[in-house]
Amino acid sequence: MNEHERERTIELLKGVIRPVEDGGLSGDLWPRMLRRMEEGPMRVPWFDWALAGLVVVLLLLFPGLIPRVLYHL
């Protein structure tokens, strides 16, 4: 590849590949971080605990369910 071909290749590449857009942050992330910290740990309602407990009890009472349930996960 001579000099002319090299320059031509560079020109073609510049024409095809778009310049990188500004990848900077769109805003300050710290306020969002503070809000997230103030929210505290996620609260799980009692109903969901009851459902989870029900499934555990079912699987303990009927171990034959375990492979059938795993198969669908």
Partner 1 sequence: MSTHPYLRAYMAGIVVPTLFLLVIFTFFWVMRFVYNVPVPIEHVLVFPMALVPNLWGVWNILYMRLSSRRRWPIGLHGAALVVLLSPIGYLLIGAQQYLIVPPALIALVFASLAVIYYLVWKYVVAFLNAFLGIS
On whether the CB atoms of residues 59 and 66 are closer than 8 A, the answer is: yes
CB of 40 to partner 1, least distance (A): 15
Radius of gyration of the chain (CA): 29
Binding mask 2-41 for partner 1 (x = CB under 8 A): ----------------------------------------
Instruction: Please work out, in degrees rounded to the nearest 5, the angle formed at the alpha carbon of residue 19 by the alpha carbons of 6 and 4.
Output: 10
Residues forming contacts to partner 1 in the complex (CB under 8 A) are: 42, 44, 48, 51-52, 54-55, 58-59, 62, 64-65, 67-73
